[in-house]
A and B are shown apart, each in its own frame.
Chain A
Amino acid sequence: MAQQTTGHAIEAQGLVRQFKNGPRAVDNVDLYVAAGEIYGFLGPNGAGKSTTVKILVTLLPPTGGRATVGGLDVVRDGPKVRRIIGVALQEAALDPLLTAREHLLLQAGMNGFARRDARARAVELLERVALSGAADRKVGGYSGGMKRRLDLALALVHRPPIIFLDEPTTGLDPKSRSALWDEVARLARDENVTVFLTTQYLEEADVLADRVGIIDTGKIVAEGTPEALKAEIGRPTVEVHPARQEDQARITALLSRFGEAAAASPGTVAVRLERAGALADVVRALDAERLEIANLSLRAPTLDDVFLAKTGRPLEGAAEEGPEAEPALESQEAVVARAVPFNVGATSVAVKEWLSDVRGGASAQTGVPLLLLRDGPLAGQRVGVGARLIVGREGVDLSVEDPEVSRRHAVVYPYEGSVVVQDLGSLNGTWVNGHRITQPTRAGQGDVITVGNTSIEVRLEAQPEPAGNVPAA
Chain B
Amino acid sequence: MSSSGYFSVARFVAWRNIRVVIRTPALLLPTVLFPLFFLLAFAGALSSISKVLGGQNYTAFQFVFALLQAAGFTGAMGGFAMAEDFESGFMPRLMVTAPHRTAILTGYTIGILGRGVIAAAALTAAGFILGMHLDGSALEIVAMFALAALLTLATTLWSLAVALHIRSFKAAPFMALPIFLLLFLTPVFVPLSQLTGWLHTVAAKNPFTPVVEAGRGFISGDPTDVALSFGILGGITAFVILFALHGMRRAEAAGGAP
- By a beta-carbon cutoff of 8 Å, the part of chain A in contact with chain B is 328-334, 355-358, 360-370, 382, 401, 453
| Contact among B9, B27, B30 for A364, CB-based, below 8 A | B27
Q: Is the interface of A mostly helix, strand, loop or mixed?
A: loop
Q: Is the C-beta of B61 less than 8 angstroms from some C-beta in chain A? A: no
| Contact among B1, B19, B23, B94 for A331, CB-based, below 8 A | B1
B12→A333 contact, CB < 8 A: yes
Contacts of B80 in A (CB 8 A): 362
B88→A370 contact, CB < 8 A: yes
How distant is the Cα of A365 from the Cα of B8 in the complex, in angstroms?
Answer: 19
Contacts of A331 in B (CB 8 A): 1-2
B88→A366 contact, CB < 8 A: yes
**Most central of A330, A364, A370, A382 by chain B CB within 10 Å:** A364
Contacts of A370 in B (CB 8 A): 88
B84→A365 contact, CB < 8 A: yes
A357→B12 contact, CB < 8 A: no
B1→A368 contact, CB < 8 A: no
Looking at the assembled complex, report how far the CB atom of B110 sits from the nearest CB atom of chain A, in whole angstroms: 15
**Chain A proximity mask over B85-97: 1 for CB below 8 Å, otherwise 0:** 1011111011011
Known A-B contacts A365-B20, A366-B88, A367-B88; A329 and B93 likewise in contact (beta carbons under 8 Å):
yes
B77→A357 contact, CB < 8 A: no
Known A-B contacts A362-B77, A368-B93; A334 and B27 likewise in contact (beta carbons under 8 Å):
no
Known A-B contacts A328-B97, A330-B1, A332-B12; A366 and B24 likewise in contact (beta carbons under 8 Å):
no
Contacts of A329 in B (CB 8 A): 1, 93-94, 97
How distant is the Cα of A355 from the Cα of B15 in the complex, in angstroms?
Answer: 13
Contacts of B246 in A (CB 8 A): none
Other than the given A328-B1, A334-B16, A362-B84, 4 more pairs (CB < 8 A) read A366-B88, A367-B89, A370-B88, A382-B89
| Contact among A333, A361, A362, A366 for B90, CB-based, below 8 A | A366
How distant is the Cα of A355 from the Cα of B84 in the complex, in angstroms?
Answer: 13
How distant is the Cα of A317 from the Cα of B119 in the complex, in angstroms?
Answer: 52
Contacts of B94 in A (CB 8 A): 329, 367
Residues facing A in B48-92 (CB within 8 A) are: 77, 80-81, 84-85, 87-91
Looking at the assembled complex, report how far the CB atom of B78 sits from the nearest CB atom of chain A, in whole angstroms: 10
How distant is the Cα of A453 from the Cα of B94 in the complex, in angstroms?
Answer: 19
B23→A401 contact, CB < 8 A: no
Q: Is the C-beta of B196 less than 8 angstroms from some C-beta in chain A? A: no
Contacts of B193 in A (CB 8 A): none
- The residue of chain B having its C-beta at the shortest distance from the C-beta of A454 within the complex is B88
Question: Would you give 23 A-B contacts (Cβ < 8 Å), ordered by A?
Answer: A328-B1, A328-B93, A328-B97, A329-B93, A330-B1, A331-B1, A332-B4, A332-B12, A334-B16, A356-B20, A356-B24, A362-B80, A362-B84, A364-B20, A367-B88, A368-B90, A369-B88, A369-B93, A370-B88, A382-B89, A401-B87, A401-B89, A453-B88
Known A-B contacts A332-B4, A453-B88; A364 and B24 likewise in contact (beta carbons under 8 Å):
yes
- The residue of chain A having its C-beta at the shortest distance from the C-beta of B81 within the complex is A365
A357→B24 contact, CB < 8 A: yes
Contacts of B84 in A (CB 8 A): 362-365, 453
Residues facing A in B20-50 (CB within 8 A) are: 20, 23-24, 26-27, 30
Looking at the assembled complex, report how far the CB atom of B58 sits from the nearest CB atom of chain A, in whole angstroms: 32
How distant is the Cα of A356 from the Cα of B88 in the complex, in angstroms?
Answer: 13
How distant is the Cα of A166 from the Cα of B70 in the complex, in angstroms?
Answer: 50
Looking at the assembled complex, report how far the CB atom of B88 sits from the nearest CB atom of chain A, in whole angstroms: 6
Contacts of A365 in B (CB 8 A): 16-17, 20, 81, 84-85, 88, 90
How distant is the Cα of A327 from the Cα of B161 in the complex, in angstroms?
Answer: 28
Looking at the assembled complex, report how far the CB atom of B8 sits from the nearest CB atom of chain A, in whole angstroms: 5
Contacts of B89 in A (CB 8 A): 367-369, 382, 401
How distant is the Cα of A362 from the Cα of B16 in the complex, in angstroms?
Answer: 15
Looking at the assembled complex, report how far the CB atom of B242 sits from the nearest CB atom of chain A, in whole angstroms: 25
Contacts of B12 in A (CB 8 A): 332-334
**Most central of A329, A330, A357, A370 by chain B CB within 10 Å:** A329
Looking at the assembled complex, report how far the CB atom of B174 sits from the nearest CB atom of chain A, in whole angstroms: 16
Contacts of B20 in A (CB 8 A): 356-357, 364-365
How distant is the Cα of A356 from the Cα of B4 in the complex, in angstroms?
Answer: 24
Looking at the assembled complex, report how far the CB atom of B25 sits from the nearest CB atom of chain A, in whole angstroms: 9
How distant is the Cα of A355 from the Cα of B17 in the complex, in angstroms?
Answer: 11
B88→A360 contact, CB < 8 A: no
Contacts of B96 in A (CB 8 A): 328
Contacts of A328 in B (CB 8 A): 1, 93, 96-97
How distant is the Cα of A367 from the Cα of B86 in the complex, in angstroms?
Answer: 10
A332→B88 contact, CB < 8 A: no
B27→A401 contact, CB < 8 A: no
- The residue of chain B having its C-beta at the shortest distance from the C-beta of A362 within the complex is B80
How distant is the Cα of A158 from the Cα of B135 in the complex, in angstroms?
Answer: 76
Contacts of A453 in B (CB 8 A): 84, 88
Contacts of A366 in B (CB 8 A): 88, 90
- The residue of chain A having its C-beta at the shortest distance from the C-beta of B9 within the complex is A332
How distant is the Cα of A7 from the Cα of B27 in the complex, in angstroms?
Answer: 59
Looking at the assembled complex, report how far the CB atom of B219 sits from the nearest CB atom of chain A, in whole angstroms: 31
Looking at the assembled complex, report how far the CB atom of A365 sits from the nearest CB atom of chain B, in whole angstroms: 5
Looking at the assembled complex, report how far the CB atom of B175 sits from the nearest CB atom of chain A, in whole angstroms: 12
Query: Which 8 A-B pairs give the minimum distances between C-beta atoms?
Result: A367-B90, A360-B26, A332-B12, A329-B97, A356-B23, A365-B84, A365-B81, A360-B24
How distant is the Cα of A361 from the Cα of B2 in the complex, in angstroms?
Answer: 33
Contacts of A368 in B (CB 8 A): 89-90, 93
How distant is the Cα of A319 from the Cα of B93 in the complex, in angstroms?
Answer: 27
| Contact among B8, B19, B24 for A332, CB-based, below 8 A | B8
- The residue of chain A having its C-beta at the shortest distance from the C-beta of B90 within the complex is A367
Contacts of A334 in B (CB 8 A): 12, 16
How distant is the Cα of A367 from the Cα of B19 in the complex, in angstroms?
Answer: 13
Contacts of A332 in B (CB 8 A): 2, 4, 8-9, 12
How distant is the Cα of A363 from the Cα of B4 in the complex, in angstroms?
Answer: 29
| Contact among B19, B26, B85 for A361, CB-based, below 8 A | B26
**Most central of B8, B26, B88 by chain A CB within 10 Å:** B88
